[in-house]
Amino acid sequence: MSDHLPLITVFGSLHYDITVHGPARPRRGETVTGTAWRPKCGGKGGNQAVAAAGAGVRAAMIGVVGDDDFGATLLANLDNKGVDRRFVRIEPGVGSGMSVAIFDAEGDYGAVIVSGANLTLSDQDVVAADELVRQTRVLILQNEVPDAANVAAAAAVRAAGGKVLLNAAPARVLSGELAALVDILVVNAIEAEMLGGIAAVDTLDQALAAAQALTSLCPIVVVTAGGDGVACADRAGGKMTIPAEKIKVESTHGAGDQFLGAFAAALASGSTIDDALRAANRAAAILVNTPEIARL
């Protein structure tokens, strides 16, 4: 890919995912008979890097895998998807990150992640990737790696003139140190409720209200509301909502990461926030409409 294209750098997680399909997700103490299972390369960071690469920009990954079969598969997947993974470190003696996601008949899912090698990501990985940092137009972060590592990456990219986009997932307390370095915060309804102490985000109007409230933390806030759409607000008083596209839901797995990758790619390519959100909304809808087996 041409070196003249804008660079998106994803600093974050890589997981080897195992997806299980059944009629419903099990309740506490319940065993459900499934219908199929398959492996998939993921992690929010890995998914977002692949999505950005697929959106026509240069995409690079800074992360860590273990010295195991899962790690080798994750690295090969980044190669196959056109992601620069020169700065993905292999940590000896530690297992790669992995997850298990259980899908119900409607395509919704619940997941458990085991972070493994991802928890060793640190400021030293930022220093080692200085070549990337200096070229990065948009940095994507998530909450599947240590907060201190995210702070180091954000500070380095901001110092080099790039923008920082935080996908605050899974939900956890946002440190003041990191919040001060984030240009754009992207959260889903559950994460918005947790970060803002909001009672409920069940509609697009409530998502917009949550985005407006969360601008106390970061200058621009995007709240994704699943099948309802996406809302955005900024500290200058700007606001917008985009309804979700009406499509047949095959699987919601990875939709948020697809949204993030496409959003960051559009921003890095010079799109306005409004146009970038529309492009990301469209990219997520296409993925949700695509059966899992066709995504491999």
- Point out the residues that are catalytic: 257
DSSP state of 199: S
What single DSSP character describes residue 4? T
Beta bridge partners of 84: 60
Residues 6+ apart with CB under 8 A from 160: 133, 134, 135, 136
- Cα dihedral sign, 42-48-54-58: negative
CA dist 72 and 142 (Å) reads 22
Q: List the one residue out of 176, 166, 127 whose CA is nearest residue 145.
A: 166
- Token pair 């606001």 is found at 239
C-alpha–C-alpha distance, residues 236 and 230, integer Å:
19
